[in-house]
Amino acid sequence: MNTGLLATAPNQVWTWDITWLKGPVKGIFYRLYLIIDIFSRKIVGWEIWETEEAKYAEELMKRAVISENIQGKPLVLHADNGSPMKAATFQVLLEKLGIQSSYSRPRVSNDNPYSEAMFRTLKYRPEYPYKGFQTLISAREWGMKFVNWYNCVHLHSGINFVTPEQCHNGMHIEILEKRKEVYEQARQKHPERWSRSTRDWSPHQSVALNPMKEKKEETQIT
């Protein structure tokens, strides 16, 4: 059960979930498996399959760990209480990889907010095919385009309007510092246009996952 997690850098806390995508006819769906780094909001792993199975989750997790080159490093993986998330074989894999499991609290609907927000963003994209994907291949092709846009183009409001990729690789610090300078210069040139100080463009220092209000300290991964 999750009692509050704090990420102070990328690859400390990941969250993952599965959402259903409409298929070619009513009653047929594809399953999007998606892993997010909560500090940078980067999608670090994703895939689309026709069913929900632990073996697919295992394959995706192994690929994500290899892609991020974090084998053996401390990591917490948060999920809801679905069967693929709690499958025995998946738990064995996490143990082998040295990954700590975290789960949503029972009967709490918003304990995985970053994944839920991601799915809302995905399904409200103008180009999202609301009538459904015709094939698994077409769903995967659309997914690849979405992930590239989200990671490398989308200026995320939750991380001060830089892209998740920039935040993940540390480039956001220099970008935000230059942005701060531009705003300060603009304010000095035209002080009459500013009724208060410029926006705070400081990079965020931490991201909390479901902090418990009654606890002052979080479980921090260092």
Four-point Cα dihedral 155, 109, 59, 63, nearest 10:
30
Looking up tokens 């995967």 gives 140
Q: Which residues of the chain are modeled with pLDDT < 50?
A: 1-2, 211-222
- Cα 160 to Cα 153: distance, rounded to the nearest angstrom: 14
- Cα 38 to Cα 41: distance, rounded to the nearest angstrom: 5
Q: What is the pLDDT of residue 194?
A: 80
In the chain, where the domains are located:
5-158
- What is the residue type of 81? N
* pLDDT tens digit sequence for 93-115: 999 999 999 988 765 556 788 99
Q: What's the CATH architecture for 5-158?
A: 2-Layer Sandwich (3.30)
Q: Which two tokens mark 62?
A: 């192994």
Taking only Cα atoms into account, the Rg of the chain, rounded to an integer number of angstroms, comes to 19
Quote the pTM value.
0.89
Give the angle 213-219-222 at the CA atoms, nearest 5°.
145
Q: What is the pLDDT of residue 112?
A: 83
CA atoms within 13 A on the CB side of 82: 16
* pLDDT tens digit sequence for 28-48: 999 999 999 999 999 999 999
End-to-end CA separation in angstroms for the chain? 20
Q: What is the pLDDT of residue 106?
A: 63
Four-point Cα dihedral 92, 98, 101, 102, nearest 10:
180
Q: Is 37 helix (H, G, I), strand (E, B) or coil?
A: strand
Tell me the backbone φ, ψ of residue 29, rounded to 5 degrees.
-135, 155
Q: What is the pLDDT of residue 108?
A: 57
Q: What is the pLDDT of residue 109?
A: 54
- Cα 147 to Cα 151: distance, rounded to the nearest angstrom: 6
